[in-house]
Amino acid sequence: MNGNINGLHIFTVALHLPPNLKPLEELAYNLWFAWNPEVIALFRRLDRWLWEETRHNPVLMLSQLSRERIQELSQDEAFLAYMHRVYNEFQNYLKSPYFAPFFQAEKDFLIAYFSAEFGLTDCLPMYSGGLGVLAGDQLKSASDLNLPLVGIGLLYQHGYFRQALTIDGIQKEIYPENDFYHMPLRLEKNAQGNPILIKVDLKGKEAYAQIWRVDIGRIRLYLLDANIPQNPPHIRAITFRLYDADREIRLQQEILLGIGGVRALHALGINPTIYHMNEGHSAFAGLERIRILREKTNVSFDAAHLAVMASNVFTTHTSVPAGIDIFDPHLVEAYFANYAPKLGISIPVLLGLGRKNPADHNEPFCMNILAMKLSGHINAVSKLHKRVSQKLWHILWPAIPEEDVPIKYITNGVHVPSWISHEMVELYNRYLGPHWFEDPDNEKVWSRVMEIPDEELWGTHERRRERLVAFCRRKLQKQLIRRGAPQSEIMKVSRILNPEALTIVWARRIVTYKRPTLIFRNPERLAQILNNPTRPVQIIIAGKAHPADEPAKALIKQIVSFTKDERFRYRLVFIEDYDLEVGRYLVEGADIWLNTPRKPNEACGTSGMKAIANGALHLSTGDGWWAEAYKPELGWLIGFGEEYSDPNYQDEVESNSLYNLLEHEIVPLFYDRGPDGLPHGWVHKMKLSMRHLCPKFNSHRMLEEYVQNFYLPAFDYWQKLSLDNLKGANELSQWKNKIMTNWDKVSVLQVEPTGDIEIPVGEELKIQALVQLGELTPEEVRVEVCYGRISLSGKLKQGKAVVMKAIHQEGDGVYRFEGNFCCQDTGRFGYKLKIVPHHSNLVPSYYLLGVLVVWG
């Protein structure tokens, strides 16, 4: 990039390799290396030490190779042959995908996937935790599945923080600067060779951003960077840190991500038809889409809003209200005063789109609410999270039962090839077949796990545990050296952890509801479990606390204090700076993956899925994904799956359950060895876990469900509403206005039969109703009879709905509807009528449907 900074004339020095080594550059700039062991092995052959020193960054590594080493490689025939073999595999991957699109893709079918963070590989630290890693896994699976998708995010100069602990366990945050020119990134440029810039308005001031491209197999991710000379210092700071604690900077980030992200796609000539917002951070993208549609077609805000809703998908990830972005309405007003008129609405209307109660002018502006009001397709990230989300957001659909709130669920998954060890890859290649790598959701493929000989699976797993222990010892030595510990203390590290002991790992973002200290509730009992002379157990813990989360930091300090306790000194470690590299070692070497969230706060939790693919067994409370995955033969359940009103009592019950499982089931099974020294019962459980859980809880399956349940329906809605200059959207808008004008005249006049009636089991009950529709026609409403068992409180349980048909008109605006249903069980049942607006082009989650409901 040419430019002038502080009086300096800027130029870029580009990497230059001999022609016969050019494939290395192409391989370095595509993150296919992040999940392909052959490419990693290739780069390790260049210089193993340098590969580790550069944090597995092939671009930086190539730039640091000496001229002598480059010359040597260019003449090494064995190396060149290996490089060309790997490069040919890469080219075949790009040009000849194992999967043709697994659905009949339309010509204009393209998904834009927005996320504030992406966890893709070690040398791109643009993530903070599970949300970003999930986003990264989604892009990798999109590449493997050959799905037309592009990613949109922000490029952070400092990314998320690196964690360092003091000798007392106090977390310190370090923000190293990212050197984009030595990362696997390409700056997008125009025909003149200059960076492509987009701009957004920030309180009347123009803020610019350039666009970087990350190649992820067949997928491209575009990241916006505001730290450029065209911006003043306070604007450049927008993309300094992920999730900046300053609320105004956070709002600026989300404006740049949402509005700027849409503009970046247009500047690149990319025109998606489906927009997927991963959490509420990018919700402003929906507003920008409305603005563009109005500018192009001159339609009303309502019509543009309906068209955008039809093709927007929103995934909510949090179960905890504190984890949802909200902003002071005055701050939002200051930033959108000039923008609202371009939407054709006033500031109060815009603010109302981000509120539960639009009339409450003091209510904060919520990004998740904005995303839901702009999206026709909404999903939670596990079966349990669906119920939690329906309860949390029921207020947006107040006139319908909580269980009818239009939030579906697609359980998260992991990109299996990114998270398994090289040794496990080789084992799977031998027994699962060559195509498991790109087809990891195939149940037939995973059934072959049962054919792996016990000694091979156990031997592979033991090697990874040994490597995990060695890795932890290296990390602990570095931690002690950095803290200035005496040499005598550093020497003791070689005695910490046992490569043959049962190894429990707890690793994830540290926050109070995840309860990392639950296992320490009874230290004496835990000490007896860990220090059994013939059946030793050890625990490895890792995780970061948000810089502003003091209670979480206190938990880290407490854990570190336990590591110094003589009872735990050689059986318990805390590994600093939990990141993708640390995470891989942990999931690859753990025997037990421990998860202790307080139900129902864990939305999904995918770390355990990664461990299972490596042969670890899961031990968790009945929260998140484990609530739907648990079976006794596959792992262990802490507690009984209940929800408690008293957190202290819950901790007592579940910690005792945890200790009981360890003492009476887990430890005995692990150390029950046959004459050949193998724990055959344990290995059998490993195989069952992998066979039944791996094909389901992976991102290929997840993405296929997104396609079938959301992307294809969204595309169909978009096609219907956008054709002929948004003709369908205009018609739908006119219908909506008619509904809004006439809905107060809709009522149920009469229902038959009434009273306490009795019918034989299995016999149909015919229901008729007189309904007053006023100016509306039967085609513009849907009349349903909702029936089910009656609870003790007088409510319908597990209600079902049957659509009633209009059989004739009985007066001015009065129609007779009829429907019937059959009860196959005996007991007390009830029914009632529900009338809602209906239009064939109306998306399921249209939020006004939660208000416009008549019951009878």
> In this predicted model, which residue has the larger pLDDT, 364 or 436?
364
Rounded-to-integer distance, Cα 834 and Cα 31, Å: 52
Residue 753 — pLDDT band, cuts 50, 70, 90? confident
Is the per-residue pLDDT at 191 higher than 70? yes
* Higher-confidence position of 831 and 100: 831
Span 153-173, mean pLDDT? 94
Mean pLDDT score, 671-693: 97
Question: What's the pLDDT band for 3 if we cut at 50, 70, 90?
Answer: low
Instruction: Show contacts of 802-808: CB within 8 Å, 24+ apart.
Output: 804/767, 804/769, 804/833, 806/778
Residue showing tokens 């399921």: 844
Per 3-state DSSP, the chain is made up of helix, strand and coil in percentages (nearest 5) of 45, 20, 35
CA–CA separation, 494 vs 570, rounded Å? 10
pLDDT, tens digit (0-9, with 9 covering 90-100), for 100-129: 555 666 678 999 999 999 999 999 999 998
Instruction: Kindly write down the DSSP assignment for every residue of 610-675, as one continuous string.
Output: HHHHTT-EEEEES-TTHHHH--TTTEEEES-S---S-HHHHHHHHHHHHHHHIIIIIHHHHT---T
Q: What is the pLDDT of residues 485-525, one digit of tens each?
A: 889 888 989 999 999 999 999 999 999 999 999 999 999 99
Q: What is the mean pLDDT of residues 743-761?
A: 85
What is the mean predicted confidence (pLDDT) over 774-783? 94
Asked if residues 295 and 325 have their Cβ atoms less than 8 Å apart, the reply is no
Q: Which residues, 6 or more positions from 193, have their beta carbon under 8 angstroms from its beta carbon? A: none
Helical segments of 743-784, H only = none
pLDDT band (50, 70, 90) for residue 773: very high
Q: Give the model's pLDDT for residue 10.
A: 64
Distance, CA of 675 to chain centre: 45
Q: What is the pLDDT of residues 392-429, one digit of tens each?
A: 999 999 888 888 899 999 999 999 999 999 999 999 99
Contact 521, 638 (CB under 8 A): no
Q: Taking 90 as the threshold, does the pLDDT of residue 570 lie above it?
A: yes
Tell whether omega for the bond before 401 is within 30 degrees of 0, i.e. cis. Answer: no
Mean pLDDT of 447-459: 96
Count the neighbouring beta carbons within 10 Å of the beta carbon of residue 631.
11
Instruction: Say how far apart CA 228 and CA 225 lie, in whole Å.
Output: 7
Predicted pLDDT at 102: 57
Q: How many beta carbons lie within 10 A of that of residue 369, not counting itself? A: 25
Q: 516 with 555: CB under 8 angstroms?
A: yes
Q: Under a CB-based contact definition with an 8 Å cutoff, are residues 618 and 595 in contact?
A: yes
CA gap 115, 135 in Å, rounded: 7
3-state secondary structure of 845: coil
Cβ atoms within 10 Å, residue 789: 15
State whether residue 380 is helix, strand or coil: strand
Q: If pLDDT is split at 50, 70 and 90, which confidence band does 794 have?
A: confident
Long-range Cβ contact pairs of 49-55 (< 8 A, separation 24 or more): 54/123, 55/122, 55/123, 55/581
Q: Kindly give the interhelix angle for 67-74 and 77-95, rounded to the nearest 10 degrees.
A: 80
Grouping H, G, I as helix, E, B as strand and the rest as coil, residue 262 is: helix
Rounded percentage of the chain residues whose pLDDT exceeds 70: 96
Question: Rounded distance, CA 512 to CA 121, Å?
Answer: 28
For the chain, the distance separating the N- and C-terminal CA atoms, rounded to the nearest angstrom, is 68
The residue with greater pLDDT, 346 or 130, is: 346
Averaged pLDDT, 56-83: 95
pLDDT of 80 higher than 90 = yes
Q: Is residue 151 classed exposed, middle or buried when 0-12, 13-18 and 19+ CB atoms within 10 A define those classes? A: buried
Render pLDDT for 17-60 as a digit per residue (tens, 0 to 9). 899 999 999 999 999 999 999 999 999 999 999 999 999 999 99
Q: How many CA atoms lie within 13 A of 327 on its CB side?
A: 29
Banded model confidence at residue 309, pLDDT cuts 50, 70, 90: very high
What confidence score (pLDDT) does residue 1 get?
A: 41
Output the average pLDDT for the chain: 93
Q: What is the CA radius of gyration of the chain?
A: 29
Question: Is the pLDDT reported for residue 768 higher than 60?
Answer: yes
Decide: 169 and 556 in contact? Cβ < 8 Å: yes
Tokens of 674: 């046959």
Residue 2 has pLDDT above 50, yes or no: no
What per-residue confidence (pLDDT) applies to 765?
A: 86
Reference 212, options 133, 155, 150, 148; nearest CA is: 155
Q: How far is CA 271 from CA 110, 149, 262, 694, 717, in A?
A: 8, 11, 9, 35, 17
Structure confidence at residue 850 (pLDDT): 64
Nearest to 243 by CA among 257, 233, 229: 257
DSSP 258: I
pTM confidence score:
0.94
Q: What is the 3-state secondary structure (H, E, C) of 690-738?
A: HHHHCCCCEHHHHHHHHHHHHHHHHHHHHHHHHHHHHHHHHHHHHHHHH
Query: Average pLDDT for residues 573-595, to the nearest whole number?
Result: 97
In the predicted structure, residue 705 carries a pLDDT above the cut 50: yes
Structure confidence at residue 807 (pLDDT): 94
Q: In Å, what is the CA distance from 77 to each residue of 58, 72, 82, 191?
A: 21, 10, 9, 39
Rounded distance between C-alpha atoms, residue 187 and residue 223, angstroms: 10
